[in-house]
Amino acid sequence: MGELAMREAYGRALAEYGTSNPKLVVLDPDTSSSTLSCYFAQRFPERFFNVGIAEPCMVDIAVGLALAGKVPFANAFAALLSFRAMEQIRTCVCYARTNVKLVAGYAGVSDYKDGPTHHAITDIATMRALPEMTVIVPGDGAEAARWVPIIAEYDGPVYLRINRAGALPTHNAGLPLQIGKGLTLRPGRDVTIVAAGTLVGRSLLAAEELAALGLDARVIEMHTIKPLDVELVAQAAEETGALVSAEEHSIVGGLGSALAEALADCHPAPLERVGLRDTFARTAPDPESLMDAFGMGVADIVAAARRAAARCAAARKRK
Amino acid sequence: MYSEATLQQLEEIACQLRIDSLEMIYRRQAGHPGWSLSAAEIMAALFFNKLRLDPARPDWPERDRFILSKGHASAILYAALARRGFFPSSDLAGWGQLDCHLQGHPDRLKTHGVEMSTGILGHGLPIGVGLALAARLDGAAHRVYVVLGDGECQAGVIWEGAMAAAKFQLANLTAILDYNDVQLDGPVHEIMPLEPLAAKWRAFNWNVIEINGHNLRQVLEALDLAAETHNGPTVIIAHTTKGKGVSFMENRSQWHGVPPTAAQLEQALGELRRPAGAGRN
């Protein structure tokens, strides 16, 4: 299942979960054949609402359904959900603390064919700034599927970020999935790579390369960007002295910024951020080459880890 | 169908809600007097005749759902909720204080009887669509009422919600549009004209009822007609006067969000306390 595209795994899981939770209702603004909420629509047409190309309206309708005790999953392209419907999300979902689940498809640069109009590279930044919001970025398809019942049964606003494409497997199937609890996927002493989303699998590959270079890298999957597992970050800073953030997002405001804030608060340590370097990406023939071209390749993670470890060593020498 | 006694009682309540609102806005030196005055009959008809509510159980599942889409008019909503018994009238004096549950704009998490937090314009109608869809899924008999301002019909999301309500044929949803033709910067027909407004709603496949929004019999009968209409949602376009009942506030955009002085309050209350019935529309 790790090979399954994230949206495919999510769409199947949503339809499956519909059988066990009669309160589940699903909304989509004319993108159900892309987000794959259409699987749910086919099985439960009476609980599916296609609102046309109107993301703000969709979020408000979801709010009304939530007020009445339903558990709405409102799907849309991340770029549109996080910008066009932002005011609804801030006011009617977060401020009013309604039990709405926002599922942001085609996240990051995964809509490589359409280009930057449909890339979502600042959605984590804006979503995590909202009080009451929980932000979850699954690492692969299998994990995306596992989050469906968990966020449905959590009471409060959630932003779940889903990629269009597949992701390298995270091999986290045996580990417990819990909101706000990061997963240590690989032990290591010299540097810690804290990754989210499609960069998790890439970080595991980077750790292999780093091992060959004599650097023992720890890999943490930080699926919950908010609330951040600060304890796990502080422990990694304490034990490895250097960190790297890796995400399919701008280096401004996302996981990298969340880590920087946490480190500044509790355990200052060198941090190198891997992500889009405050720039729009481009159209590409496939998501992998696009990520490689815009600073999110395995080689970028390796280089960042070496820089972070070197900064740590230099700081120790000065002491 | 409505007795003179019923109408007179509701007129007195509407008058009281106006007085409460102005006193609240004066005390706090903040709020939106014009709209609170124009919607007084609508609020009186809903909260003291039509809405099925139980102040002792704000979460009663069978209650009718009411959303004040234009949350700026919180003063008259708070006055209505207090007079209806959702919380003590003495709370009104604390409106806007740091430790008071009454926020500048209504907050569903802090104030009993507030169905949904509002204040940013345009949300009430699509949220009402969600509430009405849920009621239908549950086979519930309660109705959903949304009071809209006219200015907020300039916001696109209102029309997104209107399209959705018609698509889903939500006969359990009624919108009441307080058409006072005044907004913050001037007359609605100058700032961004809405006309032909009734034709717009009809074009969006809504049932449309036009009334004088200060005539309680018309307000009550329109609400009844909407409830008896089974082929989709209904909007009641209530023609009203912004600042109704206070001569120097009527139809003046400068009273959209400005509190009165002590002297102005005294004059306003004097005008409002004149014997009811004499000026019935």
- Show the 3-state SS of chain B: CCCHHHHHHHHHHHHHHHHHHHHHHHHHCCCCHHHHHHCHHHHHHHHHHHCCCCCCCCCCCCCCEEEECCHHHHHHHHHHHHHHCCCCHHHHHHCCCCCCCCCCCCCCCCCCCCCCCCCCCCCHHHHHHHHHHHHHHCCCCCCEEEEEECHHHHCHHHHHHHHHHHHCCCCCEEEEEEECCEECCEEHHHHCCCCCHHHHHHHCCCEEEEEECCCHHHHHHHHHHHHCCCCCCEEEEEECCCCCCCCCCCCCHHHCCCCCCHHHHHHHHHHHCCCCCCCCC
Question: What pLDDT score was predicted for residue A2?
Answer: 43
Encode pLDDT of B96-155 as tens digits. Answer: 999 999 999 999 999 999 999 999 999 999 999 999 999 999 999 999 999 999 999 999
H helix intervals, A68-132: 78-83, 86-88, 123-128
Alpha-carbon span A107 to A132, nearest angstrom? 21
Question: What pLDDT score was predicted for residue A179?
Answer: 98
Query: Has A55 been annotated as catalytic?
Result: yes
Q: Which of A8, A55, A221, A247 is catalytic?
A: A55
Residue B163 is assigned to a structural domain of this protein: yes
Q: Examine the pLDDT at B277 and tell me if it is beyond 60.
A: no
Do the Cβ atoms of B129 and A60 come within 8 Å? Answer: yes
Do the Cβ atoms of B160 and A57 come within 8 Å? Answer: yes
Give the residue among B272, B268, B237, B243 at the shortest CA–CA distance from B255: B243
Rg from Cα positions in chain A: 19
Residue B179 is assigned to a structural domain of this protein: yes
Encode pLDDT of B227-240 as tens digits. Answer: 999 999 999 999 99
Do the Cβ atoms of A63 and B116 come within 8 Å? Answer: yes
Question: What pLDDT score was predicted for residue A166?
Answer: 81
Encode pLDDT of A80-134 as tens digits. Answer: 999 999 999 999 999 999 999 999 999 999 999 999 999 999 999 999 999 999 9
B126 closest CB neighbour out of A61, A69, A96: A61
Question: What pLDDT score was predicted for residue A237?
Answer: 98
Return the residue in A50, A61, A65 with the most chain B beta carbons within 10 A, the one to mutate for interface testing: A61
Encode pLDDT of A208-236 as tens digits. Answer: 999 999 999 999 999 999 999 999 999 99
Alpha-carbon span B56 to B66, nearest angstrom? 16
Of the candidate CATH numbers 3.40.50.720, 3.40.50.2300, 3.30.10.20, 3.40.50.970, the domain formed by A6-161 belongs to 3.40.50.970
CB A276 within 8 A of CB A251: yes
For residue B23, the domain's CATH number is: 3.40.50.970
Q: What percent of chain B has pLDDT over 70?
A: 98
Do the Cβ atoms of A64 and B128 come within 8 Å? Answer: yes
CB A184 within 8 A of CB A218: yes
Which residues touch B154 (CB under 8 Å, ≥6 apart)? B188, B191, B192, B194
Secondary structure letter of residue A170 according to DSSP: -
Is the ipTM here above 0.90? yes
Of the candidate CATH numbers 3.40.50.920, 3.40.50.1240, 3.20.20.70, 1.10.10.10, the domain formed by A183-318 belongs to 3.40.50.920
Alpha-carbon span A7 to B184, nearest angstrom? 46
Give the residue among A155, A22, A23, A47 at the shortest CA–CA distance from A99: A155
Do the Cβ atoms of B117 and A63 come within 8 Å? Answer: no
Question: What pLDDT score was predicted for residue B275?
Answer: 62
Q: Examine the pLDDT at B280 and tell me if it is beyond 70.
A: no
Question: What pLDDT score was predicted for residue A173?
Answer: 87
Tokens at A138, concatenated:
């699954």
Q: What's the number of domains chain B is made of? A: 1
Domain range list for chain A = 6-161, 183-318
pLDDT band for position B33 (cuts 50, 70, 90): confident
Do the Cβ atoms of A67 and B129 come within 8 Å? Answer: no
Residue B187 is assigned to a structural domain of this protein: yes
CA distances from A201 to A18, A114, A167, A193, A196 (A): 29, 24, 7, 11, 9
Q: Distance, in angstroms, between A23 CA and closest chain B CA?
A: 10
Return the residue in B127, B146, B169, B205 with the most chain A beta carbons within 10 A, the one to mutate for interface testing: B127
- pTM higher than the cut 0.80: yes
Residues of B in contact with A47 (CB under 8 A): 137
Q: Distance, in angstroms, between B36 CA and closest chain A CA?
A: 23
Residues of B in contact with A71 (CB under 8 A): none
CB B21 within 8 A of CB B265: no
Residues of B in contact with A94 (CB under 8 A): none
Question: What pLDDT score was predicted for residue B278?
Answer: 47
Residues of B in contact with A132 (CB under 8 A): none
Average pLDDT over residues B8-16: 97
Q: Distance, in angstroms, between B15 CA and closest chain A CA?
A: 31
Regions of chain A with pLDDT less than 70: 1-3
First CA to last CA across chain A, in angstroms?
A: 49
The mean pLDDT value of chain B amounts to 95
Encode pLDDT of B167-208 as tens digits. Answer: 999 999 999 999 999 999 999 999 999 999 999 999 999 999
Q: Examine the pLDDT at B274 and tell me if it is beyond 90.
A: no
Do the Cβ atoms of A69 and B134 come within 8 Å? Answer: yes
Q: Distance, in angstroms, between B165 CA and closest chain A CA?
A: 10
| Parent domain of B186 | 4-272
Q: Which residues of A touch B (CB under 8 A)?
A: 25, 46-47, 49, 51-52, 54, 56-57, 60-70, 72, 87-88, 91-92, 95-97
Residue B278 is assigned to a structural domain of this protein: no
Residue B279 is assigned to a structural domain of this protein: no
